[in-house]
Amino acid sequence: MSGLQHALFAAAPERLADLALPGPRDERWRYSSLRALNARTFTTAPTTATPLGDAMQARIASLSPRLVFVDGRHDATLSDLAALGDALTLDASAPSGSPPPHWPFARAAAVAAPTLALHISAACATPIHLLSITTAAAQDAVVQQSLHVELAPGAEASIVHHRLGESDGTAFVNLWRDLALADGAHLHWLETADEGERASVVIGTHAVLAASARFELAEVAAGAALYRHDLDATLAGEQSELIVRGCTMVTKRRHADVNIDARHRAKNTRADIVWRGLADQRGHAIFAGQLIVEEGADGADAGLSNKNLLLSPHAEIDTRPVLEIYADEVKAAHGATVGRLDEGALFYLRSRGIGESEARRILQLAFAREPLLQLPDARIREFALAALAHVLPEEAT
Amino acid sequence: MLKIDNLHVRVAGKDILKGLTLDVKAGEVHAIMGPNGAGKSTLGYVLAGREGYEVTQGSVTFNGQDLLAQEPEARAATGVFLAFQYPVEIPGVNNTYFLRAAYNAQRKHRGEPELDSMAFLKLVREKLKVLHLKDELLNRAVNEGFSGGEKKRNEIFQMAVLEPALAILDETDSGLDIDALKLVAEGVNRLRSPERAFLVITHYQRLLDYIVPDVVHVLADGRIVQSGDKDLALKLEEEGYAWIKARKREEQAAFAS
């Protein structure tokens, strides 16, 4: 057993006996090698509460209502959900949902971490901030979190997930979340992060949508030593909708691997995925999007677009758009491109007096924000654009 | 103000400008006319600092400084502005944001204080009004989905905001109908001043009915082959560029004998 595997499964090794981490021949992990991680030694996350620094405390206080996790464990004293009244209730003794069998990390988290369930029964007026904080005490540790989010019929919520870590943090963060949307429920989820380039993060997001439910996922992925986000969404009820708007911006040696599977199972369902990727310096951006229209899912509308900019000769971009259609009456479109920054546009900006590095930043930002500008929820859009501005900061003046 | 001396420029291994000499003083409007392929656009690009234009010989000074040694953004800050023949569409970049970034970058380069967004908005609104342009121009992405005429007017608008010392208009009249042409010319005429010079590059004389030049030059085969007053443009319009070619042949014949 590798150090990583041992630490991941430490809580219940006998229940995970059949589990193996993806190897080099696993097609789904082709561009995300675990070799460096397997060579390291990991401990399990600290079980005693770790005091937070002043900056982190201030940051937490600025976000409300909020649900706070520290090193994988729910912290009720740091959380503040008062503004939501009884639209949201928590259940700390809920069973975990079942991760897809080919998600070993999610299966480990589901077993190793206590599951916290969020029951959302009505429309929540303000976005809920979900904070996953990894502290200095979790250096070289495996931090696992298991979350179950359930939206009642017609319920509506916006969740902004902030992953916050030490700038030199080296933890392995393993997050599993299971989302269940009942008839007509709407969930907006924004995934953002402020974590160091030495961290490793694996996220499994599993969503099942009942009739007329709508799930919008937005993400700004800045990558880490290893960053992997799997989304598996099943459009199980008629007229359910999945909307994904995201961008990856990796610099230095950061790596970001986003995998999306959208399964059309019922009639007249819609998936609309737009993702943009930028890789600079020695960054590596990977995107795989799979639209699967199952037999009988007639009237499906499946769209996927992934455009990328390669900004450096040492950067790498891999993209794989896939359509699998087993139904007859289907509207489907998919496309992927990898290009370079438009030299003509760069010269145009410079000829007006804008310095080269600022001109590059403006063009990169414009490219990356395009999908985020299409987000229908104004508050989510604002948080997403702020997260992007954080990844591509303006020049210090 | 602008002194071009014996300028030779090579593009993609091909000599385009072959000894161009030009002297433009503050307050003057010079028109550069010439047939297609004469090197007109190359002149605009090489003055603005586009990559891929290799100067093999000659010099360009602007207010006494070596222009060719400077980056494009530095040239802009010292007062050089190129109105593009084909303005570039930049999706996702708001026109106002772009202009303010340019305006403040130039000011910063010159050691002048930057304008905040309120003060800048006031400035651009004034310029819009003077040029009879609509407010909606400010909220659109730079040139994205603009018609040919809108793109050219956006160039003139940028020029009005940035107030350059030397404006180079590269075939600003191409693709414009007569009304749009008049509006563009009016915009340029408003900016004429004793401190400012214009280099108006055009294929047709038509634009020069509205922007009356002090000097007209004919650029052919990479060199200025004839200079004169505004009547030269009229003569070209009447007799076409073939006249220049015929005259060149005569000259060569005379030289040979």
> Which positions in chain A touch B75 (Cβ < 8 Å)?
351
Instruction: Name the minimum distance, in Å, from the CA of B222 to any CA of chain A.
Output: 23
Residues near A1 by beta carbon (within 8 Å), at least 6 away in sequence: A9
Query: What's the pLDDT at A396?
Result: 45
Closest chain A residue by Cα to residue B72? A351
Closest chain B residue by Cα to residue A362? B93
Using DSSP bridges, classify how beta strands A88-91 and B29-33 pair: parallel, antiparallel or unpaired: unpaired
Closest chain A residue by Cα to residue B155? A352
Rg (CA), chain B: 19
**Confidence at A397, pLDDT banded by 50, 70, 90:** very low
Reported as half-sphere exposure (CB side, CA atoms, 13 A), residue B163 has a value of: 9
Best mutation target, A245, A276, A348, A362, to test chain B (most B CBs within 10 A)? A348
Give the ipTM. Answer: 0.95
* Each residue's pLDDT tens digit, A265-298: 999 999 999 999 999 999 999 999 999 999 999 9
Q: Which residues are paired to A256 by β-bridges?
A: A285
Task: Please indicate whether, in this complex, the C-beta atoms of B87 and A351 are within 8 angstroms of each other.
Answer: no
Strand (E) or helix (H) holding A55: helix A54-61
Average pLDDT estimate for A176-199: 97
Q: CA B257 to CA B247: how far, in whole Å? A: 16
Query: What's the pLDDT at B183?
Result: 86
Q: CA A275 to CA A218: how far, in whole Å? A: 9
Tokens 């994988």 sit at which residue?
A: A72
* Each residue's pLDDT tens digit, A46-64: 888 788 989 999 999 999 9
Best mutation target, B67, B70, B73, B120, to test chain A (most A CBs within 10 A)? B73
Task: Please indicate whether, in this complex, the C-beta atoms of B91 and A351 are within 8 angstroms of each other.
Answer: no
Closest chain A residue by Cα to residue B162? A352
Instruction: Name the minimum distance, in Å, from the CA of B88 to any CA of chain A.
Output: 6
Using alpha carbons, select from A80, A78, A148 the residue that is nearest to residue A120. A148
Instruction: Name the minimum distance, in Å, from the CA of B91 to any CA of chain A.
Output: 7
Task: Please indicate whether, in this complex, the C-beta atoms of B76 and A366 are within 8 angstroms of each other.
Answer: no
Q: Which residues are paired to B33 by β-bridges?
A: B202, B218
Let me know how long chain A is: 397
Q: CA B194 to CA B105: how far, in whole Å? A: 25
Using alpha carbons, select from A163, A172, A174, A38 the residue that is nearest to residue A113. A174
**Confidence at A94, pLDDT banded by 50, 70, 90:** confident
Nearest to B101 among A362, A367, A373 (CB): A362
> Which positions in chain A touch B87 (Cβ < 8 Å)?
348
Q: CA A256 to CA A248: how far, in whole Å? A: 7
Let me know: does A92 contact A116? Beta carbons within 8 Å: yes
Q: CA A345 to CA B208: how far, in whole Å? A: 29
Task: Please indicate whether, in this complex, the C-beta atoms of B73 and A356 are within 8 angstroms of each other.
Answer: yes
Average pLDDT estimate for A251-260: 97
Cα distances (angstroms) measured from residue A134 to each of A7, A126, A145: 16, 25, 11
Size of the A and B interface in Cβ pairs below 8 Å: 78
Rg (CA), chain A: 20
Q: Which residues of A27-45 are buried (b: 16+ CB within 10 A; e: fewer)?
A: ebbebbebeebeeeebebb
Task: Please indicate whether, in this complex, the C-beta atoms of B82 and A344 are within 8 angstroms of each other.
Answer: no
Using alpha carbons, select from B209, B204, B166, B158 the residue that is nearest to residue B186. B209
Average pLDDT estimate for A236-250: 98
**Confidence at A395, pLDDT banded by 50, 70, 90:** low
Task: Please indicate whether, in this complex, the C-beta atoms of A363 and B108 are within 8 angstroms of each other.
Answer: no
Instruction: Name the minimum distance, in Å, from the CA of B26 to any CA of chain A.
Output: 21
Question: pTM of the prediction?
Answer: 0.91
* Each residue's pLDDT tens digit, B87-143: 999 998 999 999 999 999 999 999 999 999 999 999 999 999 988 888 899 999 999
* Each residue's pLDDT tens digit, A324-351: 999 999 999 999 999 999 999 999 999 9
**Confidence at A25, pLDDT banded by 50, 70, 90:** confident
> Which positions in chain A touch B88 (Cβ < 8 Å)?
342, 344-345, 347-348
> Which positions in chain A touch B77 (Cβ < 8 Å)?
353
Q: With pLDDT > 70 as the criterion, what percentage of chain B qualifies?
A: 98
* Each residue's pLDDT tens digit, B195-228: 999 999 998 888 999 999 999 999 999 999 999 9
